[in-house]
Amino acid sequence: MQRTVIQLLRNAKQHFPGAPYLHEKSDQGWFSQSFDEVYDRARMIASALLEHGFSINDKVAILAEGRNDWVITEYGILMVGCVNVPLSIKLLPEEIHFRLEHARCKAIVVSANTIEKAIQGLNHADLHEVLLIFLDRDLGPYEAMLQSAGLSLSQVLMLSDLVELGKNKMETNAAQLDAIEAEIKEDQIVTISYTSGTTGNPKGIMLSHLNYYANSTDAMKYFDVNKGDRLLIILPLDHSFAHTVGIYASAVKGLSIYFVDARGGSKNALKNIPINLKEANPHFILTVPALTGNFMTKMKDGVAAKGGVIQKLFEAGLEAGIEINGNGFNKAKGVSLKKKLIYKLAYQLIFKKLQGVFGNSIRFCVGGGALLDLSQQQFFAAIGVPVFQGYGLTEAAPIISANNPAVHKYGTSGKVIPNLECRIVDADDNDLPVGTKGQIVIRGNNVMKGYYRNEEASRQAVRDNWLFTGDLGYFDEDGFLVVVGREKALLISANGEKYSPEGIEEAIVNTASLISQVMVYNDMKPFTVAVVVIADEKVRRLISQQNLDKESLLFAIEEDLQKFTMHEAYKGQFPEMWIPRAFVLASEPFTEQNLMINSTLKMVRHKVLEAYKQPVEAVYRSEGSKNQSSHNLKVIESLFNR
């Protein structure tokens, strides 16, 4: 038996007949499709693609929100031997153009939410032959735009027409589809997934059938999930974590996946998350730190708004819960009876209500995509909805390690999943002992084939079948992997010492009340500087409540920036030289629109520095009070004038 993702779907059809697989919301309510129905519809799409001349290794991009037909269309693309190029709906038209041209795509799958952006990306002579496959039914509003971009209406294939065509031609095409599937090898490419391109042009990560088959089956051996468990997909399906677990691992285990209702675009999707959580009533969800951080902030703000006894009990219960849980692996000893009673009371009166945000079946969340701050892990464990930190890379399909309900340790990225080798090495590729930080390298069937049309980058990343991740970490004494950040996103002191900034940045944001985003910077300088985005509403409230002038407000922000150094979770954790001694106020938040946040919600550090290079350099030249700079006073002035 060939280990392919098509075989995974075949197995699911056999083992879970009639079981619901995909769910999306329509005007009539939730619409479900079983594993059998998904397989049959995908095969119809594959049959239709044959009729339109698609053949093995043709590239087809998907630019659409998470929905049933995203998954089904991908299976159809694979069944005809083609390769999927999943694209983020947050990409700019020029970024779409680069990926379509670089991957040499024959077609792009779009929805009503994304067709306009896709047309803008196709508005180049070199892409005028690319076909569009439209997932929705009404093309009318976009016909003029297509024609003005030099695209013919005949280039647009309606998915509903493809399904009908494929169904009618199935008797003719069935034998050919069977032959194609029999020829698909384990090392054939399934996806070319482009990196977010935070430094230079993005690279196309080639992942094979075996990569996905191995990673999804190994992950399901490791996680405590049951046949029929419900999973709400909040992350976009181009995100490798959601792609592997949401599509393929769900087929391994017979999971039932729900998509956030994204009709009307991303803003509607964000509004619908709380509603869909209640409706889907998931047993677990996949998340990233930005999402859980938002949940945590809203929960804390909601309790703070009640004030009084409720807020005091919440804070005391949270503190007690964190102490009782210890680090998750080693439970605390000697916790007083009083604290246990406080926690029990807070749990019954407050925490159980907070859990209701996720529905009434939630067991846990799994976090990936970036480092999940310790304070978030402690918070969610205390309220009874633990968020288990994992670690992975798209180049590893993507799961490398994870905490799970049975074995977990807060502040770590968990244990390495089965059938995967992981080493910590120095610059000369020598293994490092327990507790010593070095580069994380892995080997297993989940390691990518390489970067598409980029042999040099492939040789640098994969050597002797070992993937050099570019991430720094170490194994602790209990065998848990601790990831400390990117090797290339480092603070570098004047004497050449290096340090990863992510932990400090997370600590600042999670303890400060006036700061919403921060980038810590030191590039061979005498001290460290932070570029700070202030929490607009909270700062203006403080100005009003305390009648602060501009200079006093800057002092308050300075104190807020240092608050993490006294917090119990971070006290003494960071060397003095990396703690920011000065700050530069950002004039606007870091967003995807100003390119300071990429499509996977990670900060694009060089873009932030590019925008604030002059005030940062001025800080190092300043002889006086570095935080009372003309730049900072000007940013504060705008607050007072609003």
Q: What is the pLDDT of residue 462?
A: 97
Q: Based on the domain organization, do 101 and 160 belong to the same domain?
A: yes
What CATH number did the domain enclosing 480 receive? 3.40.50.12780
**Position 199 pLDDT exceeds 50:** no
No. of helices (H) and no. of strands (E), the chain: 24, 28
Q: What is the pLDDT of residue 642?
A: 63
Q: Based on the domain organization, do 540 and 590 belong to the same domain?
A: yes
In this structure, what are the phi and psi dihedrals at residue 367, rounded to the nearest 5 degrees?
Answer: -105, 140
Domain hosting residue 413, numbered range = 284-442+465-484
Residue 150 lies in a domain: yes
**Position 91 pLDDT exceeds 90:** no
Q: Based on the domain organization, do 433 and 571 belong to the same domain?
A: no
Q: Based on the domain organization, do 336 and 367 belong to the same domain?
A: yes
**490 pLDDT band (50/70/90 cuts)?**
confident
Mapped onto helix, strand or coil, the DSSP state of residue 68 is helix
Residue 560 lies in a domain: yes
Q: Based on the domain organization, do 476 and 330 belong to the same domain?
A: yes
Out of 453, 484, 515, a domain closes at: 484
**153 pLDDT band (50/70/90 cuts)?**
very high
Residue 456 lies in a domain: no
Residue holding tokens 């670089």?
102
Q: Based on the domain organization, do 172 and 32 belong to the same domain?
A: yes
Residue 549 lies in a domain: yes
Out of 280, 297, 322, a domain closes at: 280
For the chain, the average pLDDT equals 92
Q: Are 255 and 85 in contact, with CB atoms under 8 Å apart? A: no
Task: Express each pLDDT in 352-391 by its tens digit.
Answer: 999 999 999 999 999 876 667 788 899 999 999 999 999 9
- Helix 630-640, helix 550-562: angle, nearest 10: 110
Residue 460 lies in a domain: no
Residue 161 lies in a domain: yes
Q: Which helix (DSSP H) or strand (DSSP E) does residue 108 occupy?
A: strand 105-110
Q: CA-based angle 625:629:632, to the nearest 5?
A: 130
Residue 213 lies in a domain: no
Q: Which helix (DSSP H) or strand (DSSP E) does residue 240 occupy?
A: helix 240-242
In this structure, is the dihedral angle defined by the CA atoms of residues 300, 305, 306 and 307, taken in order, positive or negative? positive
Tokens representing 225?
């999930």
Q: Based on the domain organization, do 471 and 560 belong to the same domain?
A: no
Q: How far apart are CA 74 and CA 94, in angstroms?
A: 24
Q: Based on the domain organization, do 352 and 255 belong to the same domain?
A: no
Q: Based on the domain organization, do 530 and 567 belong to the same domain?
A: yes
The alpha carbon of 62 is separated from its chain's Cα centroid by a whole number of angstroms, namely: 18
Task: Express each pLDDT in 55-84 by its tens digit.
Answer: 999 999 999 999 999 999 999 999 999 999
Q: Based on the domain organization, do 539 and 428 belong to the same domain?
A: no
Q: Based on the domain organization, do 575 and 437 belong to the same domain?
A: no
Strands 131-134 and 105-110 come out as parallel
Q: Are 146 and 156 in contact, with CB atoms under 8 Å apart? A: yes
Task: Express each pLDDT in 101-148 by its tens digit.
Answer: 999 999 999 999 999 999 999 998 788 899 999 999 999 999 999 999
- Structural domain total, the chain: 3
Residue 29 lies in a domain: yes
Q: What is the pLDDT of residue 4?
A: 98
Q: Based on the domain organization, do 113 and 58 belong to the same domain?
A: yes
Amino acid at 174: A
What CATH number did the domain enclosing 594 receive? 3.30.300.30
